[in-house]
Structure 1
């Protein structure tokens, strides 16, 4: 509660106290209008803060979703490469004719290492 609101409420309570002590009616329309105005202003300010918090949370969520989507794409690409490697290794292990674009390289310890050569390119 702001200082102005606290002061207004204290004044209103004091006015009520005096009116009760003197057994007289109290004209408090202006004070009530002030209290209601301050309350509505406080509500509007709090709603603004909540909207800003919501907007920040929405932006953070959208960024996290985008990052997850990029990670899924990367995983799918890695999985596709792994499947190709497994397929080439299976062909090499089966001692069959390798598909076009795949050559056998001999490692120093006489192990067969198949690699895929891009069409018209050099082995990576």
Structure 2
């Protein structure tokens, strides 16, 4: 079983409104800076809520046109929080984004 379908992620720029807003579903996301480099990788049970949290915290900057964007993939319905966290750890190790303070996967257990 794969956690995510193959293919490119969906893109959304909250500054310009270009792209499709993340849904309220579980998945993986990547925050890209204005230069296009991956600055943060995360996993969540609600992509829409987590995007809003990153905008409010400043991790996903919206101050200037094209300042930051988010890419995301919705998880397969059969995936679990553990399989999504393992995938997150692999992607953090692969890309080494500067804003990730840990190696990933330390999220709260599902249902808490």
Class of the TM-score when normalised by the shorter of the 2 chains: under 0.3
Q: Which has the higher contact order (CA 8 A, sep 6+)?
A: 2
What is the TM-score with the length of structure 2 in the denominator? 0.23
Bigger Rg, structure 1 or 2: 1
**Structure whose residues are more often helix by fraction:** 1
What is the TM-score with the length of structure 1 in the denominator? 0.22
**Structure whose residues are more often strand by fraction:** 2
